[in-house]
Structure 1
Amino acid sequence: MAAELTSVRLDKWLWASRFFKTRKDAVEAISGGKVHLNGARVKPSRNVQINDTLEITRNNEKYQVTVLGLNDKRRPAKEAQLLYEEGEASIKARESEREIRRLNNASVTRPDKKPNKKERRQMDKWRSQ
C-alpha cells in the first residue's frame, strides 16, 4: 500500500501534471524563473503541497493554478488535470492573449510559394545593397 503524499518536488509535480514533457524541461523552466510558487521564485527541489498556487509561463502563455492533488508519477492526461485547478482570470487572459497573437499573425502577408533560384538571387542582390 502506498502512503498518502503530503508533498512532492516541484519539478516532479510539473512533469506529472503534464505542464512539461520531461523533468529536465521542468527544471530548466523553474531555474529560468518561469515558475513561481506562492509568488516567489524557487528551486526545482522545493516541495509543493496542496493549496499552493503556481504561476507558470510556458510558450508565451501564463497559467495560474492551484494545486489540488499530489502525484510523483506521470499518469494519463485526464488524471493529470485533476491535480490542479486553473483560475478563471488566468483562462480568460490566456485566451485573449492567444486571440491577439492570432490577429497579429493574420495581418502578415505570406507568399504562396517558395522563391525560385532567380527570385532568390534577386532578393540576395537587393539585401546586399
Structure 2
Amino acid sequence: MPQADDSKPRLDKWLWAARFFKTRSLAKQAVEGGKVHYNGARTKPSKEPKVGDLLKIRQGLDDLEVEIVAISEQRRGAPEAQRLYRESDTSIKKREAAAAQRKALRGNSPATAGRPTKKQRRDIRHFHDQNH
C-alpha cells in the first residue's frame, strides 16, 4: 500500500483513498473550502501529505483529528483505508460526546409519524375552532 517514490501524492487523493470523501472532487472542494486543516493551517488540494502529519477534517457535524500513518493514492476497502490514519483519543471522545448530545436532543422532541390522518385533522380543526 505504500506510495512509489516517482510520483508525488496529493492531499485530496489521499483523503479520497482514506475514504473520508466519496469522490476526489468532494475531497478537493473540502480542502479548498477550509474544511481540512493540515498541521493546524488551511492548505491546498495539491499539498503533499507526509507520514506523521496531523489533519483536522470537518465532516458534517463532526471534527476529526487524524495523524497520517501511511500514504496511498489507491482507494481500497474500508479496513485497508483505516490503516492509512490514526484518529486521536480526544477526537474520538469529542465525536462520541457530540453524537450522544445530538441523540439526547432528538429524544426530547415529539416524534411524528408523518402527515396527520383524517381523524387527526378533524381533531386539529375542532381544537382550532374552539380556541378562535
TM tier, smaller: 0.7 to 0.9
CA shift, 1:6, in A, is 8.4
Report which of the two structures shows the higher radius of gyration computed on alpha carbons.
2
The count of corresponding residues between Structure 1 and Structure 2 is: 123
Q: How does 1:98-109 map onto structure 2 within 5 Å?
A: 98-109=99-110
1:37-86 deviation digits (Å, cap 9, x = unpaired):
00000111111111010000001111100000000010111111110001
Runs of 5+ unmatched residues, structure 2: none
Q: Give the fraction of aligned pairs with identical amino acids, expressed as a percent.
A: 42
Q: Which amino acid aligns with 2:51?
A: I
Provide the aligned C-alpha RMSD in A: 2.4
TM-score normalised by length of structure 1: 0.85
TM-score normalised by length of structure 2: 0.83
Q: How does 1:42-121 map onto structure 2 within 5 Å?
A: 42-116=43-117, 119=121
Q: Provide the C-alpha distance between the structure 1 equivalents of 2:10 and 2:18, rounded to a whole number of angstroms.
A: 12
**Residue aligned with 1:45, SS:** coil
Q: Provide the C-alpha distance between the structure 2 equivalents of 1:56 and 1:113, rounded to a whole number of angstroms.
A: 35
Q: Which residue of 1 aligns with 2:30?
A: 29
**Residue aligned with 1:57, SS:** strand
